[in-house]
Amino acid sequence: MPPDVEFVKEWCRIDGTQFDAVLPSLIVAATSLASHETGNDYLATAIPAPVAVWIASTCAYWLDHPDTLVDKRTMPSPFLAGLLDPYRVFA
């Protein structure tokens, strides 16, 4: 299951409600991206804590850099890519 909105808001240090409408869709997009990157279905299974932090960090990156959300494509932060390495399946 993806992290909840409150976890992401705490991680992103968001106090108000200004992003409450957009955060659920960002969380699902980041969770789907993590699932794709690692080969695990995190939308249906439990998420390890480091992957949940990666999802929250990716949401924070997208909120801070809205230009990475263009043409319905989401570009992850190049600085966060290595956090998923222990969970990747290399074939």
- How confident is the model over 12-51, as pLDDT tens digits? 888 888 888 999 999 999 999 999 989 889 988 899 999 9
Overall number of domains in the chain = 1
Model confidence at 80, pLDDT cuts 50, 70, 90, reads confident
C-beta contacts of 30-38 below 8 A and 24+ residues apart: 30/2, 30/54, 30/55, 30/58, 30/59, 30/62, 30/74, 31/2, 31/3, 31/55, 33/58, 33/74, 33/76, 34/58, 34/84, 37/84, 37/88, 38/84, 38/87, 38/88, 38/89
Token duo for residue 85: 């390495």
Domain that holds residue 73: 5-87
Give pLDDT, residue 72.
66
Give pLDDT, residue 19.
87
